[in-house]
């Protein structure tokens, strides 16, 4: 089965779990619950949930074992988009061809819907407690909370917001500054994008019983795939306007070469996992080579 | 030892734990970490942490057993204040005699500092995992996530924001409408204030090994104390300007009578817990009778 067929089969699993876990739009307060659902249904590519399911599969378990991680990571991702779009952040009016949450429901409800999505992510993982393997959900929770926190997702977003005004971002830098600039940009993407993508793989595998050494490999794989994914995203669409992209810092050829190198590095990390990790590899290639 | 002396002894315990768990203000991104600390140090009364410690004590354990719950609940409370103060919400410039977080650090960093405080709360509780009693932190996490979510804290805040414009809030209501109005206000306070106060008591007791029946009693106690605490707060200061208070809906005498009745009900809930719960009782009386 190719990766697109696998995604077509697995995504409804994630959608159904999200549908069951997020309060219905007719539950009070209806504006809040409708706002929480606005960006979740229909969602995006469900790439992070797919990685969580494939992370479980990679350690010889059923993809369903990673489902609570898949749902939790998608809730964190969705909360972060709702807050990123706010007028005081990126001030975006549209996402995925529809009005953003604050345009549709107002700014206060958008802030609070993001807050509630973040809390819901942890509620889902807490509910995945398994008395036979109690440490699995506890450690997945710790990983997800760290990935959502000030040293990862939120810290990356803060530095991304401050980036446009930083001296390193000024145009016409000489080559030495270009390399420093590229490192600075990758540090932001590592926290803002890659940490949550790595948490998806790791948490999915954790719930499925992965050992510590495998989790280290999967974490490194996820971070490299996350960085490559961000470059691919910027090459596809957003990069032209955004100063905080490798595309702007290095140009398209060097950016694409960096994405390919990151992908190759990521694949090398999980070479030893053999056939069960094939879906992870396919997802990584699919995510990074979308534009080609 | 009276309750003020007990608070003076226990609050530094909470402050030290918060100090150790929240990233230092010189860690990158420094603006984010300084903003996360702005409202935490110096904090408020640390009433919710005190309830978590007293909840542990009430079931015969050491107050320290409730410390991770105390810290986590204070982080959730602080996040909620940071977001409530935002220009798009209550638009407050000052809190506890100092500039609010968005005034001191700007609105984007304030939104993100709140987000990171919420994630940190769950990280703290996930780290409290005890392999001998693994279900304790898992269930505390579930309770806290629920108390922070769309059916509790966030839902109450959404309805509070919408309240000023609702027909029931218009002045000069006849008595029948007054009763309906009071119920509506209490539903908001039950979610916005009381759910987290109840979670403080329950999570502290959970980490200390409370049984299910005791947890039910402590949860009911916490909700009633939380509602009474809100009335006391409104009688003390904020109530005059805020349409969403029992003080405005019922007048000061009836509001004070309601607080006393709630307090009496709360104390009755935990009568059977005997001497170990004495600190909880003292905290409840202290919180509700501050103004007298």
User: What pLDDT was estimated at residue A167?
Assistant: 52
d(CA B233, nearest CA chain A) in Å: 23
Residues of A in contact with B115 (CB under 8 A): 79, 83, 114-115, 118, 148, 154
Residues of A in contact with B141 (CB under 8 A): 122, 125-126, 141
Residue B259 has pLDDT above 50, yes or no: yes
User: What pLDDT was estimated at residue B289?
Assistant: 86
Give every CB contact of residue A155 below 8 A, 6+ residues apart in sequence.
A149, A191, B28, B29, B32, B116
User: What pLDDT was estimated at residue B175?
Assistant: 52
Interface probe with A: pick from B121, B158, B187, B196, most Cβ of A within 10 Å: B158
Residue B112 has its nearest CB partner, among A28, A127, A154, at A154
**Digit-coded pLDDT (tens) for B152-207:** 999 999 999 988 655 554 444 455 577 889 999 999 999 999 999 999 999 999 99
CB contact under 8 A, A149 and B123: yes
Residues of B in contact with A145 (CB under 8 A): 119-120, 122-123, 126
CB contact under 8 A, A154 and B83: no
Residues of A in contact with B146 (CB under 8 A): 123
CB contact under 8 A, B123 and A142: yes
Residues of A in contact with B108 (CB under 8 A): 88-89, 158, 161
Residue B29 has its nearest CB partner, among A131, A145, A158, at A158
CB contact under 8 A, A107 and B88: yes
Pairing of strands B98-99, B94-95: antiparallel
Q: In this structure, are residues A10 and A63 in contact, taking their beta carbons and an 8 Å threshold?
A: yes
User: What pLDDT was estimated at residue B174?
Assistant: 54
**Digit-coded pLDDT (tens) for A145-199:** 999 999 999 999 999 998 865 555 444 445 557 788 999 999 999 999 999 999 9
* DSSP conformational letter for B210: -
CB contact under 8 A, B29 and A145: no
d(CA B227, nearest CA chain A) in Å: 20
Residues of B in contact with A30 (CB under 8 A): none
Estimate to the nearest angstrom the gap between the alpha carbon of B281 and the chain centroid: 17
How many residues can be counted in chain B?
292
Give every CB contact of residue A106 below 8 A, 6+ residues apart in sequence.
none
CB contact under 8 A, A123 and B145: yes
User: What pLDDT was estimated at residue B178?
Assistant: 78
Q: Show the tokens assigned to B57.
A: 């004590």
Q: Is ipTM beyond 0.90? A: yes
User: What pLDDT was estimated at residue A175?
Assistant: 53
Low-confidence ranges of chain A (pLDDT < 50): 169-173, 291-292
Residues of B in contact with A129 (CB under 8 A): 134-135, 138-139, 142
Tokens 């409840």 sit on residue: B284
CB contact under 8 A, A108 and B138: no
Average pLDDT, chain B: 93
Residues of A in contact with B151 (CB under 8 A): 23, 27
Burial A106-124 (b: 16+ CB within 10 A, else e): ebbbbbbbbbbbbbbbbbb
Tokens 């510590």 sit on residue: A212
* DSSP conformational letter for B238: G
Closest CA to A111 of A36, A25, A24, A191: A36
Domain boundaries, chain B: 3-288
CB contact under 8 A, A32 and B148: no
**Digit-coded pLDDT (tens) for B8-36:** 999 999 999 999 999 999 999 999 999 99
Whether omega before A29 lies within 30 degrees of 0, making that bond cis, reads: yes
**Digit-coded pLDDT (tens) for B92-142:** 999 999 999 999 999 999 999 999 999 999 999 999 999 999 999 999 999
Whether omega before B169 lies within 30 degrees of 0, making that bond cis, reads: no
- Residue in A closest to B91 by C-alpha: A108
| Top-level class of domain A3-288 | mainly alpha
User: What pLDDT was estimated at residue B10?
Assistant: 92
**Digit-coded pLDDT (tens) for B83-94:** 999 999 999 999
User: What pLDDT was estimated at residue B292?
Assistant: 42
CB contact under 8 A, B107 and A88: yes
């Amino acid at each position: 089965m190719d990766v697109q067929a696998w995604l077509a089969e697995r995504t409804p699993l994630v959608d159904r779990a999200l549908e069951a876990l997020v309060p219905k739009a007719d539950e009070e307060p209806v504006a809040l619950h409708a706002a929480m659902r606005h960006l979740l249904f229909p969602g995006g590519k469900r790439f992070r949930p797919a990685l969580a399911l494939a992370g479980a599969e990679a350690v010889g378990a059923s993809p369903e074992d990673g489902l609570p991680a898949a749902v939790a990571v998608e809730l964190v991702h969705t909360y972060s988009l709702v807050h990123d779009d706010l007028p005081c952040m990126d001030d975006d009016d549209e996402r995925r061809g529809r009005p953003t949450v604050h345009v549709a429901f107002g700014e206060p409800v958008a802030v609070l819907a993001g807050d509630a999505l973040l809390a819901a992510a942890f509620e889902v993982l807490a509910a995945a407690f398994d008395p036979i393997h109690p440490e699995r959900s506890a450690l997945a929770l710790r990983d997800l909370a760290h990935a959502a926190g000030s040293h990862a997702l939120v810290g990356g977003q803060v530095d991304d917001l401050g980036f446009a005004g930083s001296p390193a971002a000024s145009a016409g830098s000489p080559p030495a500054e270009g390399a420093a600039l590229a490192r600075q940009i990758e540090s932001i993407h590592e926290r803002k994008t890659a940490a949550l993508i790595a948490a998806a793989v790791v948490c999915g595998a954790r719930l499925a019983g992965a050992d510590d050494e495998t989790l280290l490999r999967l974490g490194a794989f996820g971070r490299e795939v996350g960085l490559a994914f961000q470059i691919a995203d910027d090459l596809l669409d957003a990069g032209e306007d955004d100063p905080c992209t490798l595309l702007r810092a290095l140009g398209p050829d060097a950016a694409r070469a960096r994405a390919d190198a990151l992908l190759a590095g990521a694949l090398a990390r999980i070479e030893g996992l053999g056939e069960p990790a094939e879906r992870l590899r396919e997802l990584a290639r699919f995510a990074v080579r979308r534009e080609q």
